[in-house]
Amino acid sequence: MFYDDFFLKLYKNKVRYLLGGGHAVNIYGIIRSTYDIDILLDLSEENLDKLLKTFQGLKMISALPINVNDIKSETIRNRWINEKNLIALNFYKQDESYHSVDIFLKPLINFDEMFKRKKIVKYNDFEIYVINKDDLIALKSIAGRDKDISDIEELRKQNN
**pLDDT at residue 160 above 60?**
no
Task: Kindly tell me if the per-residue pLDDT of 14 is higher than 80.
Answer: yes
Q: Rounded distance, CA 56 to CA 51, Å?
A: 9
Q: What share of the chain has pLDDT > 90, as a percent?
A: 81
Task: Report the CATH fold assignment for 2-149.
Answer: Beta Polymerase; domain 2 (3.30.460)
pLDDT in tens, 64-110: 999 999 999 999 999 999 999 999 999 999 999 999 999 999 988 99
DSSP 32: -
Nearest to 34 by CA among 157, 150, 147, 153: 147
Strand ranges (E), 25-95: 37-41, 60-62, 88-93
Share of the chain above pLDDT 70, in %: 99
Q: Are 130 and 24 in contact, with CB atoms under 8 Å apart?
A: yes
The dihedral of CA 136, 14, 92, 103: what is its sign?
Answer: positive
Determine the Cα–Cα distance for residues 148 and 160; give it in Å rounded to an integer. Answer: 19
Residue ranges with strand state E in the chain = 17-20, 37-41, 60-62, 88-93, 96-104, 119-123, 126-130
What pLDDT was estimated at residue 159?
Answer: 59
pLDDT bin (cut points 50, 70, 90) of residue 23 is: very high
Higher pLDDT, 98 or 160: 98
What's the first-to-final CA gap in the chain, in angstroms? 36
Amino acid at the residue 11: Y
Q: Phi, psi at residue 31, to the nearest 5°?
A: -85, 120
Measured between alpha carbons, how far is 153 from 141 in angstroms, rounded to an integer?
Answer: 10
What does the domain layout of the chain look like in residue ranges? 2-149
